[in-house]
A and B are shown apart, each in its own frame.
Chain A
Amino acid sequence: MARLIRTEKEVEGRYTEQWIVVEEDALERWPEGPLAVVGREAPRTDGLARARGEAVYTADISFPGLLHTAVLRSPHARARVKRLELGAALEAPGVRGAVQPGDVECLTREPGYPGAPVAAIAADSAGLARAALERIEVEWEVLNPLLDPDEAVRRGELTTERRPYARGDLEHGLAEADIVVEAEYRTQTVLHNSMETHQAVCRWQGDTLEVYTSTQFIWGVRNAVAEQLGLPPDRVRVVCEYMGGGFGAKNDPGDYTFLAAELARRTGRPVRCALTRREENLDSGNRNATIQRLRAGARADGTLTALGGEFVASIGASGWLASTAGPMQMLYACENVETLEYGAKLNTAPMAAFRAPGFVEGTFGLECLLDELAAKLDLDPLELRRINYAHADLLDDRAFSSKNLAECYRRAEPHWARREEVRARSAGPWRHGVGLASQIWYGGGGPPSYAWIRVGSDGRATVVTAMQDIGTGSRTAMAQIAAEELGLPLDRVDVVLGDSARGPYASISAGSSTIPSMGPAVRSAAADAGRQILEIAAQRYHLEERVLSLRDGRIVSTDGGSWPLEEVTGLLEEGQILGKGARGPNPAGMRVLTFGVQVAEVAVDVETGEVRVDRIAAIHDVGRVINPLGASSQVEGGIIQGLGHTLSEERLLDPATGGVLTQTLDAYRVPTIADVPEIVTELLDLPDAHLTNLGAKGLGEPPIIPTAAAIANAIRDATGADVRSLPITREEMLRALRQAADRAAARESVGASSA
């Protein structure tokens, strides 16, 4: 019987409550460790299509008569459009239609950041559309932009109410402390730069709008487009079979989708609206910059007595306030914690989620502060973290569904023990050192999420669901889960995804949630089909169902009987066995989180400020691992993005105008293959006993979270310098070294005068 229950859902740290209907779900838990298919390395099932260039991405979609869009964007950070004339542009060769403010909600006469869309033109080719843009007559009134986040806070220019949090009494905790450290950390604005830019192709088919788009959330785009256009949701079909990266920036439909839809309506033609790389770096979201003014107090034995922080996030013209304070509130057992977060509203492009938004930035501040504290206490940094280990959730005393961070620390020991050996490599200007940082994040997923499965007479199974594989390997993982439950080899399972018209609702691929949300639904659907197969087999072979099971593509009985699956499914000829499955609720009253630790080894040239990362060991606890091969790739990818965040990536603005100086991939420096250190990945692979029928959590975000702090702490170990601002460019490194030298000189002179 279907049960209606209320459950908690979390995405990127934002919780909502919702009703769900749960079917009885009495699936037995799978044992720990590698099974027949799940827990075994599997090359991704769509790897060949992607590698051979056969996979069709949104960028490759084409239709007869397809028009291309060019968008007039504000060259100013803050301005007013005094006059806008499209006439001449509409007369330009190949132009088929245009839209201006008033036609589509996203177009504005008062742009609040550089790159804000003002008008758009659809033409026979992208080149003709761009050429026509030049013929739009526009007169600007240029206004002074607000670019300084502290100034925005002073003026009360905030995107949302300031967000305070407190437990215990911070001042009391600081008074109790033997040692107090205080520091200001800064993190920069980082640009996603997915290889496939944001884009959509819209085509009206009768009264149905087809949207082909590069998205992390097919169903969300369907609903958002339907709402804005006033259509019934099922009159919007969203397709994304292959997707060229998102990292959080493709959670929503985006202006480009609405522009393409409206231009398609007006012209009666299919329309593509694709951002160029430069537009991508102007107006597709970013990891917002932060300023973090932090304090920590501890007793001489290392017990934390106080943690406090004021956090200013440079949200941009709009956006949401990710939790930069989250790690400070959640990672360590400390009774007195006070945080205050501000979202500064600026004349810069709106932020978007970027792989663990808030926690990446907040972990850099907190975990560097902890090491500064450890240095003052003369305590081993790993020991300091163990002393303050949290055994229950600190926000509301909930039990953890599982927490194996202590085991991660234990597994980190051999890497941490390389310190002496690594430091001893120092020679000439090169100083070597080791640092670590912990990771905490969400990643439990949640309902609703659905999957169907059909098993044909040939004994092959097809999973059908409207989810998306954004490059994380989720398609392969779903095939593995279905294969495991149905006792089939992996090559007898297909996964149909990427189309809202041919599968049930599937959740967003964000917040490390695809596996923990969709995986249990797929297992449940496969189990439903499996039960039906065994019911039929029991009748066919005159046996009781309970003696039968599915294994190695066969139906086997406890008395030694064994029949190929096709023998039973083949009875149905064109008939099919249909299974359906839903994601069950999250464990009531428990906090579902992921944990980990990374140990970084670095070398610093103290003469030039060059920083080289030699090795990173990553130990994470994300519950059961479905595909260890794909999982290690995701860990490496997260660390490499973290490396860019730490050392080379930064959106630079012209301080006078707010113009973006780093719009191209030569100016904005993402890591290359030549920048990659040795990466050692260890996943605990311990199923969460309370979480779903899989015990699996998400892995997309955890690996990027501790990387910056681990590197900065290794730099301190190597040089004694405190780097507190990202990215750690040579200038920043040399500044930190100078500051450390000045501090040492001051200590010496105090020492000399007191002697």
Chain B
Amino acid sequence: MIELRVNGGVHRVDPAVGRSLAETLREDLGLTGTKVACGEGHCGACTVQLDGVPVLSCITLVHTVRAREVTTIEGLRDHPLVESFVRADALQCGFCTPGQIVSAAALVEANPEPSRDEIRHAMAGNLCRCGAYPKIEEAVLTWRG
């Protein structure tokens, strides 16, 4: 049994050795807002924050999380970035979007007024096959409304 701190709550789970954080969140805790698109750390769809730092939950073993606070899209549903993504039309199919927003939230927390280059640098690990990138850049630039 381990204790997992997620979005301000504490969950007791008993995952098998080798289980990923993404599997635990999605399958054991029902937090399916976190998407898995490649399952091997190449696309960013599964991004969550550990103590505010974006990590790829599909290649993070759940047993390594320990006391760190996990923030998923479910914990960021009222973040102004959610509104700004919708307003700017920064999503098409939306499958990568929770990961995009989790990455962007960490960025604006550390740097509330990122430049276009800083956004491109910080978000380059979040792939979007629909190509919503110009609007994602716009949404992050205008996240405060």
Contact with A along B26-38 (1 / 0, CB 8 A): 1100001111111
What are 12 A-B pairs with beta-carbon distances under 8 A? Answer: A51-B91, A53-B98, A57-B35, A245-B93, A473-B92, A629-B89, A633-B132, A634-B92, A636-B131, A640-B133, A641-B131, A676-B131
Interface residues in B60-111 by Cβ distance below 8 A to A read 72-74, 77, 82, 85-87, 89, 91-98, 101
Q: Does A637 contact B (CB under 8 A)?
A: yes
In contact, A633 and B129 (Cβ under 8 angstroms): no
In contact, A44 and B74 (Cβ under 8 angstroms): no
Most central of B32, B36, B126, B129 by chain A CB within 10 Å: B129
Which chain B residue shows the least CB distance to A246?
Answer: B93
Chain B residues in the interface with A (C-beta under 8 A)? 26-27, 32-40, 42-43, 45, 72-74, 77, 82, 85-87, 89, 91-98, 101, 119-121, 123-137
Taking the nearest CB of chain A, how far is it from the CB of B106, in angstroms?
15
In contact, A60 and B95 (Cβ under 8 angstroms): no
In contact, B131 and A43 (Cβ under 8 angstroms): no
Stretch of A176-184, A194-202, A310-318, A524-532 lying at the B interface = A194-202
Which chain A residue shows the least CB distance to B40?
Answer: A664
Q: Does A670 contact B (CB under 8 A)?
A: yes
Taking the nearest CB of chain A, how far is it from the CB of B114, in angstroms?
12
* Extra pairs beyond A52-B82, A59-B32 (4, CB < 8 Å): A50-B97, A277-B43, A664-B38, A673-B120
Residues of A within 8 A of B127 (CB): 195, 665, 670, 672
In contact, B45 and A673 (Cβ under 8 angstroms): no
Residue of B40, B133, B137 touching A277 (CB-CB under 8 A): B40
For the complex, what is the distance from the CA of A480 to the CA of B89, rounded to whole Å?
A: 16
Taking the nearest CB of chain B, how far is it from the CB of A304, in angstroms?
34
Q: Does A666 contact B (CB under 8 A)?
A: yes
With A637-B130, A665-B127, A670-B127 as contacts: A50 and B37 at CB distance below 8 Å: no
Which chain B residue shows the least CB distance to A47?
Answer: B86
For the complex, what is the distance from the CA of A193 to the CA of B128, rounded to whole Å?
A: 10
For the complex, what is the distance from the CA of A523 to the CA of B124, rounded to whole Å?
A: 41
Taking the nearest CB of chain B, how far is it from the CB of A43, in angstroms?
5
In contact, A51 and B97 (Cβ under 8 angstroms): yes
Q: Does A472 contact B (CB under 8 A)?
A: yes
Residues of A within 8 A of B35 (CB): 53, 57, 59, 195-196, 244
In contact, A637 and B36 (Cβ under 8 angstroms): no
For the complex, what is the distance from the CA of A52 to the CA of B27, rounded to whole Å?
A: 18
With A52-B82, A664-B40, A673-B120 as contacts: A193 and B129 at CB distance below 8 Å: yes
Q: Does A559 contact B (CB under 8 A)?
A: no
Which chain A residue shows the least CB distance to B121?
Answer: A674
Q: Does A54 contact B (CB under 8 A)?
A: yes
Which chain B residue shows the least CB distance to A61?
Answer: B32
In contact, A56 and B133 (Cβ under 8 angstroms): no
In contact, B85 and A51 (Cβ under 8 angstroms): yes
For the complex, what is the distance from the CA of A640 to the CA of B127, rounded to whole Å?
A: 12
Residue of A54, A56, A245 touching B130 (CB-CB under 8 A): A245
In contact, B95 and A664 (Cβ under 8 angstroms): no
For the complex, what is the distance from the CA of A243 to the CA of B96, rounded to whole Å?
A: 12
For the complex, what is the distance from the CA of A666 to the CA of B41, rounded to whole Å?
A: 9
Residue of A46, A56, A197, A636 touching B32 (CB-CB under 8 A): A56
With A636-B135, A637-B132 as contacts: A666 and B42 at CB distance below 8 Å: yes
Chain A residues in the interface with B (C-beta under 8 A)? 43-44, 46-48, 50-57, 59-60, 62, 192-197, 242-245, 247, 276-277, 470-473, 629-630, 632-634, 636-641, 664-666, 670-674, 676, 679
Taking the nearest CB of chain B, how far is it from the CB of A242, in angstroms?
7
In contact, B86 and A43 (Cβ under 8 angstroms): yes
Taking the nearest CB of chain B, how far is it from the CB of A576, in angstroms?
30
Most central of B42, B86, B89 by chain A CB within 10 Å: B89
Most central of B26, B77, B95, B133 by chain A CB within 10 Å: B95
Residues of A within 8 A of B98 (CB): 51-53
In contact, B91 and A276 (Cβ under 8 angstroms): no
In contact, B131 and A639 (Cβ under 8 angstroms): yes
Taking the nearest CB of chain A, how far is it from the CB of B71, in angstroms?
12
For the complex, what is the distance from the CA of A59 to the CA of B127, rounded to whole Å?
A: 18
In contact, B91 and A47 (Cβ under 8 angstroms): yes
In contact, B34 and A53 (Cβ under 8 angstroms): yes
In contact, B129 and A670 (Cβ under 8 angstroms): yes
For the complex, what is the distance from the CA of A323 to the CA of B130, rounded to whole Å?
A: 24
In contact, A277 and B38 (Cβ under 8 angstroms): yes
Residues of B within 8 A of A195 (CB): 35, 37, 43, 45, 93, 95-96, 127-130
Taking the nearest CB of chain B, how far is it from the CB of A435, in angstroms?
21
In contact, A472 and B92 (Cβ under 8 angstroms): yes
Residues of B within 8 A of A674 (CB): 120-121, 124
In contact, B43 and A665 (Cβ under 8 angstroms): yes
Residue of B26, B39, B94 touching A244 (CB-CB under 8 A): B94
Taking the nearest CB of chain B, how far is it from the CB of A650, in angstroms?
16
Residues of A within 8 A of B36 (CB): 59
Q: Please give me the 7 A-B residue pairs with the lowest Cβ-Cβ distance, nearest first.
A: A53-B33, A471-B93, A50-B94, A640-B131, A244-B95, A637-B131, A47-B86
Residue of A50, A244, A664, A676 touching B133 (CB-CB under 8 A): A676
Residues of A within 8 A of B133 (CB): 636, 640, 671-673, 676
For the complex, what is the distance from the CA of A459 to the CA of B40, rounded to whole Å?
A: 49
For the complex, what is the distance from the CA of A197 to the CA of B37, rounded to whole Å?
A: 7
Residues of A within 8 A of B77 (CB): 52-54
Most central of A47, A242, A664 by chain B CB within 10 Å: A47
Most central of B34, B40, B120, B134 by chain A CB within 10 Å: B134
In contact, A194 and B129 (Cβ under 8 angstroms): yes
Residues of A within 8 A of B91 (CB): 44, 47, 50-51
Residues of B within 8 A of A56 (CB): 32
With A44-B86, A47-B89, A664-B40 as contacts: A242 and B132 at CB distance below 8 Å: no
Taking the nearest CB of chain B, how far is it from the CB of A1, in angstroms?
42
Residues of A within 8 A of B39 (CB): 276-277
In contact, B32 and A244 (Cβ under 8 angstroms): no
Which chain B residue shows the least CB distance to A45?
Answer: B86
Which chain B residue shows the least CB distance to A681?
Answer: B134
Residue of B26, B82, B92, B125 touching A48 (CB-CB under 8 A): B82
For the complex, what is the distance from the CA of A242 to the CA of B98, rounded to whole Å?
A: 14
For the complex, what is the distance from the CA of A633 to the CA of B137, rounded to whole Å?
A: 12
Residues of A within 8 A of B38 (CB): 277, 664-665
In contact, A633 and B123 (Cβ under 8 angstroms): no
Residues of A within 8 A of B72 (CB): 53
Residues of B within 8 A of A244 (CB): 35, 37, 93-95
